[in-house]
Structure 1
Amino acid sequence: MAQAPTGTIADLVAAARDRVPAHTALLDGPTGASLTWARFDAAVDAFARTLVAQGLTQGDRVALLLPNGLDFCVALFGVIRSGGVAVPINTDVPAAEAARVVEHSGAAFGLGVEAPTALPAPDLDAPAAEPFPAVGGGEDVAVLAYTSGTAGAPRGAMLSHRALLANVEQCSALRPAPVTAADRVLLAVPLSHAYGLSALWQVAAAGATGVLLDRFGVDRALAVCQERRVSTLVGVPAMYRAFVTAGAERLGEALSTVRLATSGAAPLDPRTLAEFRVETGLSIYEGYGLTETGPVLTSTLASGVAKPGSVGKPIPGVELRLVDSDGGTLEVAPDEDEVYYTEEDTGTGLVAVRGHNLFSGYWPDGAHGPDAEGWFRTGDVGYLDTDGDLRLVDRANDLIIVNGFNVYPHEVERVVGELPEVAEAAAVGVPDERAGERVKVVLVLRPGAELTEEAVRAHCADNLARFKVPETVEFTLELPHSVTGKISRAGLRGRPGR
């Protein structure tokens, strides 16, 4: 394994300033306000000085509740350069949840959120001055990223400078490179999320231009892509599903400068991939990762083909294996001499990973991080196909057990999603006295479509084993999602069927 990176993640900004000082670093998509790398670096220095003047010492947590914008980016890098720990909070969370994160993290400073010491907005016009010497680096925590809570209460993942810099290097080694110096990258995924932050780190590492979008709307996003000549899309499945509704003519105009589209944070359904390719001529390269892994682990860029249902191979510098519940190895990727299972059921296991990009455990004591050998079990279940590409089945804790048989929700959702009337589906387990659990599916229909419970069950009976067929079918206007579009199944289990 390569040597772990040293230095700080804020060094990326200083390096870009030295290489391309006059190049646009950040561009606000809707307003056109911008900062060159030289001005951005000066603003970061100024905010770091403000923090120290306010009493910040190394390791202090700073909560940031701001939308994607110039202020957030300057504040984020300023906190990190000063030796503080950034605690980004999504602007869509309820006030009580934001307060819980502030309290749990012990944040002494806050911007956009109530904290013991309130901070002023960054000075975007700060003049260049003597460089502020970056504090810390290496194993010091740079970002305390709170997970989405799909597996329970949100927890703070401790991401060190080493982990974040390692993931930047790993992603940069992909070909084609996700971000190059010539790119204008759409930053519409919330920068409060590890996936959005990953794109920002890569923009800084390449000295590219980040095009910021504070909230996503399909018309708004397409207008920004067209006007700002975006060349790289960093998105989530919900964004691409919205894009395909715009039609080929509108997409052709708006995305004429796009060379690369990537997706992550949630499974990309094959229908969206196919429709986007037909409408634009572009493939969507899907990746997989977690907040705890810095975040990127695999990508179809590493495989060289955007294959439906696949999240590709491990990116350079990441080791991946599938293990059973006791930790025994089932499969390893991506060695050339490995033999891969051809049947899903024979090779399915828990995804375990190792690399310098892994977190340092959960706040505050580093619990439940990588084991003594550096391996971390993700909680996701998957298998390797005949090409050695990873295919995810589901979260281990979303597994439905019917009469002792395993039912993976994603499999049921995929079959139900084949019905043309269905826009989105979520499958969950509900208690059953005889079987232990039964399958319930909650559906959102396409506008104007009609569908009966009987038709859904009949289609499932034709395509699934009997114990996987939903006992209950519920229709709803919308499903609950995380900030990156991932279905939140937990709240669906207690809802009664129609």
Structure 2
Amino acid sequence: MRELLGRHEDLASARPDEPAVVHAREPHAGTVQTWADLCVRAGEIQEALTDQGVKPHQVCSLVLKDHPDLVPTLLALWRLDCPPVLLDAKWGARMTSSVLAHSTPAFGVTLDDGGTGAPPAVAPLAPGPSDAPSDAVFIGYTSGSTGDPKAIVFTHERLYEGTLGNASAPKRLRGGPVRRIARSMRMSGSGVINLHHTWGAVLGATVVVLPELTVSTARDYWARIEAHGIDQTFLVPQLVELVNRFAADRDPGVDAPLCLTGSAPLSPRTQARFQRRFGTPLYNAYGLSETSSAAFFGHRGPDGLAPTASASPSG
């Protein structure tokens, strides 16, 4: 039970001074959090939540933001057995209201935006108790292929074991362990957490939060990857297109990271252009929220690149 929480605490004990999250994105650029820092801050946030009236074993909501307190807040909520419903800050009022009405969280948590170091703020939401599902990490909402958002309850055991299995694929594809994972997308949902921070914890790897990948930042994408020693990156197809169109060429003398893509259809033309231009495989991963994100990955073909038409399981 609570394997993900235990994994963070084990890393804080065994490797307290190693970086867990490196922030290279404004306004928090330059902030480095070690595994010990995450757990110490989680204890402070847990105490602050309790002081604000939070009771254990209740569902809450959490507005996701690119913030140093995001992971510590998740750890604090896990210690209290209060799994959060993950809310995208860019959802409209209608979508947010619909999710809250369906999930009925007892309270809402909002991260501080003022740069004061204040703990997250708590606001009561539902009038009565909202019992948390057993062993839940968080609750994500996804439209899947139906168009109707539905709740997915992620549990510690399923997420930890699923990620542990999935993580064998990068080791196989790159021939060694992953040490530094780049996050170039904004914090918007369970997929972004799982493909970066959950993987980072399970692998004991550092997550580097790079500037959000946009038209204006794409040119220096590979320079940032090289400067931070990144050896794994995940880009959704829209971001692959940005890199294809606007990024400067990659230095062929520097080892490329393992490049993964997924979460939406990727055209063979887009994949081929990326591989041809940057001289490195782009593996098209496939998975579901119910399978803890990516579960199937491509393989390296005879030409050293990733084929567009077939995939192999993570194991």
TM-score range, shorter chain: 0.7 to 0.9
The answer to whether 1:171 aligns with 2:184 is no
Q: 1:245-299 CA deviation, whole Å, 9 max, x = no partner?
A: 135xx23149945320011101221112111112211111111111122222211
Given that residues 230 and 257 in structure 1 are in contact (C-alpha distance below 8 angstroms), is that contact kept between their aligned partners in structure 2?
no
Give the distance between the partners of 2:226 and 2:164, measured in 1 at CA. 30
Q: Which moved more, 1:20-29 or 1:102-111?
A: 102-111
Distance 2:90 2:296 in 1: 28
Indicate whether 1:184 and 2:180 are aligned: yes
Distance in 2 between the 1:71 and 1:265 partners?
Answer: 26
Maintained 8 Å contact 1:29/1:224: no
Q: Write the distance in 2 (CA, Å) between the matches of 1:178 and 1:54.
A: 47
Work out whether residues 67 and 214 of structure 1, in 8 Å CA contact, stay in contact via their aligned partners in 2.
no
Q: Distance in 2 between matches of 1:23 and 1:254?
A: 29
1:123-202 maps to which residues of 2 (within 5 A)?
Answer: 139-148=134-143, 150-174=145-169, 176=171, 183-199=179-195, 200-202=197-199
Match of 1:42 in 2: 40
Check conservation: 2:84, 2:138, Cα contact below 8 A. yes
Match of 1:215 in 2: 212
Which residue of structure 1 lines up, in the alignment, with residue 24 of structure 2? 29
Q: 2:269, 2:251 → 1: CA distance?
A: 22
Indicate how the Cα distance of structure 1 residues 138 and 255 shifts in structure 2: closer, same or farther if over 3 A, else same.
Answer: farther
Unaligned runs of 5+ in 2: 112-117, 122-131
Partner of 2:69, secondary structure, is helix
Larger Rg: 1
Asked if 1 retains the 8 angstrom alpha-carbon contact of 2:136 and 2:154, the reply is: yes
**Number of the residue aligned with 1:203:** 200
Q: In the alignment, what sits opposite 2:7?
A: 12
Aligned partner of 1:315 in structure 2 is 314
Match of 1:53 among 51, 69, 76: 51
Residue 28 to residue 138, structure 1, CA distance change in 2 (3 Å): same
Amino acid at match of 1:193: G
1:43–1:210 Cα change, 3 Å: same
Alpha-carbon deviations, 1:31-72, whole Å to 9, x = none? 121111111121122222322333333431222213233222
Asked whether 1:258 is paired with 2:270, we answer no
The alpha-carbon deviation at position 238 of structure 1 amounts to 0.9
Give aligned-pair identity as a percent: 23
Quick one: distance in 1 between partners of 2:147 and 2:253? 38
- Residue 279, structure 1, aligned to residue 277, structure 2: yes
Deviations 1:288-336 (A, max 9, x none): 11112222221115999722033x12333xxxxxxxxxxxxxxxxxxxx
Contact 1:48–1:78 under 8 Å retained in 2: yes
Which structure 1 residue ranges, 5 or more long, are not aligned? 1-5, 114-119, 124-136, 317-498
Give the letter for the 1:160 counterpart: T
CA offsets, 1:182-241, max 9 Å, x none? 622112344443321222111012221111246331442516434433221111111111
Q: Secondary structure at the match of 1:261?
A: strand
CA, structure 1 residues 178+36, in 2 after alignment: closer, same or farther (shift >3 Å)?
A: farther
Q: Which has the larger share of helix?
A: 2
Letter in 2 for 1:204: A
Partner of 1:290: 288
Measure the CA separation in 2 of the matches of 1:158 and 1:206: 22
Name the aligned partner's letter for residue 75 of structure 1.
T
Structure 1 residue 8, shift from structure 2 partner: 3.0
- Give yes or no for contact 1:7–1:138 (8 Å, CA) kept in 2: no
Aligned residues: 289
What corresponds to 1:242 in structure 2?
Answer: 242
Q: SS state of the match for residue 174, structure 1? A: helix
Distance 2:192 2:105 in 1: 22
**Cα distance in 1 between the residues matched to 2:210 and 2:94:** 25
TM-score (norm 1): 0.53
Larger mean CA deviation between 168-177 and 267-276 belongs to 168-177
CA shift in 2, pair 1:271/1:89, >3 Å: same
Residues in 1 aligned to 2:279 and 2:171: alpha-carbon distance in whole angstroms = 17
2:178·2:232 contact (CA, 8 Å) conserved in 1?
no
Q: Deviations over 1:150-179 (max 9, x none)?
A: 413211111111211111211123252589
SS of equivalent to 1:41: helix
- Stretches (4+) displaced over 6 A: 178-181, 302-305
Q: Structure 1 pair 105/301, CA: closer, same or farther in 2 (3 Å)?
A: farther
* Contact 1:174-1:301 at 8 Å conserved across structures: no
AA in 2 matched with 1:313:
S
